[in-house]
Homo-oligomer: A and B are copies of this chain.
Amino acid sequence: MEYFNIGIIGTGNVALHLATALEAAGHVITHIYGRDINKAAALAERLYDAEPTNELDFSESEAGIFLIAVSDNAIEEVATGLIVPDHAVIAHTSGSKPLQVLENYHPHVGVFYPLQTFSQVNKINFEEIPLLIEYNNNTVKESLTALGLSLSKEVYYLNSEQRRVLHVGAVFACNFVNHMMTLSKRVVEAEELPFKLLHPLMKETFRKAMKLGPEAAQTGPALRGDFSVVNAHLEMLADNKELASLYREISMSIYNNR
């Protein structure tokens, strides 16, 4: 296996989890960059060899790979300022930004996108997380592939457009799924019923969707075309225009897609 010296640009959740996992896999994190030096220092303290810094000049660095793990809107600004040795690889870790945002600034660029949601507290097991890789030349491809395989069994080559499609898919399957649960909780708690009554049903729904595929697992009044129930529910929600409108539109979508 090949081990790398890696500079991490960023101090957020992605930076934290990537740095920790890469170190556990045998790589060396040489630097942690943060605009706020205190945040960089706090993250560096959790690692073995990392130096915190708030300067983007890495021309003297021994790192061979620089991973940009900052918010989408800050990537290009960081890429503009970043100075690294000519042979080094720079990759961002964003699902929605194209490779192209790095190409103007450096010869060896790529994307190293872990398709997962990271929170402060949870330890993440990278082994099963899909790592989506993009590259502008073979040097980058080889480095990022080796890096990816040191973390996960699931390494894929996707172009920027495919990554964007997956991101839209993730919005539906994760962000929107979660919001439906939030709305459910609001409906139930408005009548002072405990949301946890629905937990077993939610667990089973999720299990069935993963096992059978969601299109085969669909149930409910809209699917059955049971409009007496759909209309009764709409009446109950009539006080809340937003909820009623969502209920109507999603029900029609289920009905139309039977």
Binding site for B on A (CB under 8 A): 72-73, 96, 115-117, 119, 128-130, 132, 154, 156, 158, 161-162, 164-185, 187-188, 190-191, 193, 195, 197-206, 208-210, 213-215, 217-223, 226, 229, 232-233, 236-237, 242, 245-247, 249-250, 253-254, 256-257
- Would A245 and B236 count as touching, CB distance under 8 A? no
Known A-B contacts A156-B197, A165-B193; the reply to A229 vs B96 at CB < 8 A is yes
* Complex Cα spacing A170 to B222, Å: 13
Which residues of chain B have C-beta atoms less than 8 A from A168's C-beta?
Answer: 187, 233, 236-237, 247
* Complex Cα spacing A257 to B179, Å: 10
Known A-B contacts A183-B253, A229-B96, A249-B246; the reply to A220 vs B115 at CB < 8 A is no
**Contact among B116, B173, B179, B250 for A181, CB-based, below 8 A:** B173
Most chain B CB atoms below 10 A, which of A73, A117, A119, A168: A168
- Would B173 and A202 count as touching, CB distance under 8 A? yes
A-B contact pairs, 7 of them (CB 8 A): A170-B184, A172-B247, A173-B181, A173-B205, A181-B214, A185-B214, A195-B213
- Would A201 and B229 count as touching, CB distance under 8 A? no
**In the complex, how many angstroms separate the beta carbon of A19 from the nearest chain B beta carbon?**
19
- Would A174 and B187 count as touching, CB distance under 8 A? no
Which residues of chain B have C-beta atoms less than 8 A from A116's C-beta?
Answer: 200-201, 204
- Would A201 and B170 count as touching, CB distance under 8 A? yes
- Would A171 and B246 count as touching, CB distance under 8 A? no
**In the complex, how many angstroms separate the beta carbon of A164 from the nearest chain B beta carbon?**
7
Q: Which residue of B lies closest to A164 (CB)?
A: B236
Which residues of chain B have C-beta atoms less than 8 A from A166's C-beta?
Answer: 188, 193, 197-198
Q: Which residue of B lies closest to A129 (CB)?
A: B200
- Would B210 and A199 count as touching, CB distance under 8 A? yes
- Would B175 and A177 count as touching, CB distance under 8 A? no
Q: Which residue of B lies closest to A257 (CB)?
A: B182
**In the complex, how many angstroms separate the beta carbon of A195 from the nearest chain B beta carbon?**
8
- Would A202 and B198 count as touching, CB distance under 8 A? no
